[in-house]
Structure 1
Amino acid sequence: MELLIVSLASLFAGFVDSIVGGGGLILTPMLFAVFPTTHPATLFGVNKSASIWGTAAATAQYAQRVTMPWHALLPAAALAFAGSMTGAWTVTVISPGFLRKALPLVLLALLIYTLARKDLGRHHTPRFTARGEAWAAGTLGLVIGFYDGFFGPGTGSFFVFLFVRWLGYDFLHASASAKLLNTASNLAALVLFISKGHIWWHFVLPLAAANVVGSLLGTRLALKHGSGFVRVAFIVVVSALILKTGYDSWLR
């Protein structure tokens, strides 16, 4: 029964994550609820072992239908991997607790800005030259990758927002690009969890399969309905993140 419950959560997480990020908001709490006595690092490892397959599948799906700036994204993905690995190491010596109270406020600022700018992310107008785009994407990959390894919540949403606001992408291209970088940052964290023995191999295959199914469904929906749909999904997911992280940080 536990496997069925977390597999369904993984499927829904893959669906949400493929559109705009935020799948960890679904699967991670469910893992903690179903396995309350398990070491948190193990549950984080299980989450990453599922989500990495979903984000990789979403990347492949988007790449077939959306023009991907590989000259910028591949170096950025490598930097996201390095940043995430560095962040994961840093969290072993510095507690990320100070970010808990700040995160809901940062997410709220992103939400207000997105709602105020009704044209934000509706048109794909990259604002950098090829070299500048590579530098901007690389900086984004390194910084947000570090955040993902160090703390994590909202990583996909931060990637999407910054691709839209800073690089000038529409929400569909931003989501597609974010998936590649998120795959790289997830891989770094997963490598670290595996090296520390924090993974349940018997859960990897069913949760990964469920996550991929959800991811493919979400990606097809995003590709069918375009940037307007992804923008709405972004607003919904960020709102849910604000409520969840705000409750965890200020009310619990």
Structure 2
Amino acid sequence: MRPLESLLTGLAGVCSSGALRVGRSGVVYLLEGKVTYMESAETPGVEELLTSGGRVSTADMERAVTRREGGEPLFSEGLLTREELAEALRRTVLDSALLLFGLDHARPKFRPSERHWLGPHWHFEVGELIEECGRRTAELDQVWPSDELDAAPVVPVPRLPGERVSLTDRQWEVLVHADGAATPLELARRLDRTAFTVLLAVRELAAADLLVKPRRAPALPRRSAKPPGTDVRHEPAELSLLLRLKAGLEQL
């Protein structure tokens, strides 16, 4: 079990409520040991998902966040249905968990008093969330067993490796919009797709030799303990000889 997964499992075991901040990478909100919300700095939050799709205006969303009355005003004013909010939350949490669970260098800090403005409209059991992210990670690794493509620009090859290529609609969408500069997560945001589906499509395209693989930096040569040409062996000198030389130098 990875570090963040172990920590969340422990917090769930004692029914903790609060926010687990994973440095600047993201945050996990818990209520009585269950995950109510999770967001990553690399994927859209629920507010961005709802406003970018045009379901809720930016002004209405800002007002809801400022009032901090949860999602109820959005429902009562007819701006959003509970099903739409649940789907946006599910997408945000699963994409965020996929990225945050893979971190091994962060130092999470738990703040018991912190709550998300939306409130508990949806929740995940920690064990089920870990299991689902494990399934998704395994699916990605089965296609391409390395994360080297996940943060690199998506660059299509200049020529097809064969006479005929069969693509899914998602793979085609990624290829069409790949500009050689955007990473998979940037493409997912641009296309309004989940991070997982775009990451999977990118790895599938790489496995089919339709993407330029990122070049790994060559390993730096190991420094020699001694500069070239200085491999000179010095025979040990007797202490009495060294003392006589020292005395002679002092008399000069």
Higher relative contact order (CA 8 A, sep 6+): 1
Higher strand residue share: 2
Judge same fold: TM > 0.5, yes or no: no
Flag the structure with larger Rg.
2
TM-score for both structures, normalised by structure 1 = 0.24
TM-score for both structures, normalised by structure 2 = 0.24
